[in-house]
Amino acid sequence: MDINSKIDFDKLPKHIAIVMDGNGRWAQKRSLPRLSGHNAGMKTLKSIVKVASKLGLQHLTVYAFSTENWKRPQDEILGIFKILVFYVEKELRELHANHVKVNIIGDYKKLPQEAVEKLESSLLTTKDNTGLQLNIALNYGSRVEILKAVKELAIRSMNNEIDPNDIDDEIFSSLLYTRGIPNPDLIIRTGGELRLSNFLLWQAAYSELWFTDLYWPDFKKKDLEEAILDYQNRKRRFGGVK
């Protein structure tokens, strides 16, 4: 029996988030430039989006560029953006035909102007789609995201628009980039590192975590299915007893 037939389609995670790590090491292993790894990673993204859409997931969030990734050499940074914009442009028609709604979390307006424009056009084209929502985390960092919400609440409170005692999970969550998106049920990280690297820190409070040593370009449909199957065998207690 293949993995797919073991998946319980009534108990799919609503939201899977992925830290797509290991592109550089994938390339290094083949004596290729790091950008070849990012290119190969983009092909994996393309196929995983299709799989997620076919499986019937509601949300797929992918970590594409962190607020810390600006520390990398300029040519790698610009290369990553080029590859991403090329993917979005080239795939837009198909994404749209598959009812995928593209969304971006993070301060993507700091990207080069051309990238911002092309990304915004994909947001506009797919805005009314009701299939899979693909959330691309771009210039995303949880700490910046949380601080932004804290500053907004401080300003509202200073202007007497909100009583600090009324601040709750719901209000706070509504000020994050992920407003309106359910918390991730499952977070996958490829590339062998066992950390979150500033990804969805608030939202991950009760996420199930799944790690693999596979580099992102080597991650396949069956690996996603394996992660989902593993998730379906977890006991989620949320602090209660079951």
- Asked whether position 65 contacts ligand IPE by CB under 6 A, the answer is yes
Q: Looking only at residues 23 through 62 of this chain, which bind ligand IPE when binding is defined by CB under 6 A?
A: 23-25
Has 230 been annotated as catalytic?
no
DSSP class of residue 224 equals H
Q: Which of 40, 42, 45, 80 binds ligand IPE (CB under 6 A)?
A: 80
Query: Which residues have a Cβ under 8 Å from the Cβ of 117 and sit 6 or more positions away?
Result: none
Place of tokens 């594409």: 64
Q: Does 69 bind ligand IPE (CB under 6 A)?
A: yes
| Residue nearest Mg ion, Cβ-based | 21
220 touching ligand IPE, by CB under 6 A: no
Residue 69 annotated as catalytic: yes
Binding site for Mg ion (CB under 5 A): 21
Q: Which is nearest to 17 in space by CA: 186, 177, 158? A: 186
64 touches ligand IPE by CB under 6 A: yes
Which entry of Mg ion, ligand IPE, none binds 20, CB below 5 to 8 A by partner kind?
Answer: ligand IPE
- Using CA atoms, how far apart are residues 203 and 59, in angstroms rounded to an integer? 14
Which amino acid, residue 159?
A: N
Burial 211-233 (b: 16+ CB within 10 A, else e): bbebbbbbbebebbbbbbeebbe
Long-range CB contact pairs, 123-126, < 8 A, 24+? 125/92, 125/96, 126/92, 126/95, 126/96, 126/100, 126/101, 126/102
Is there binding between residue 219 and ligand IPE (CB under 6 A)? no
Residue 106, binding choice from ligand IPE, Mg ion, none, Cβ under 5 to 8 Å by partner class: none
CA distance 157 to 151: 10
Candidate ranges 22-30, 95-103, 174-182, 229-237; the one touching ligand IPE (CB under 6 A): 22-30
Q: Does 232 bind ligand IPE (CB under 6 A)?
A: no
Contacts with ligand IPE, residue ranges (CB under 6 A)? 19-25, 63-66, 68-69, 80, 191, 193, 195, 197
The residues that are catalytic are 21, 69
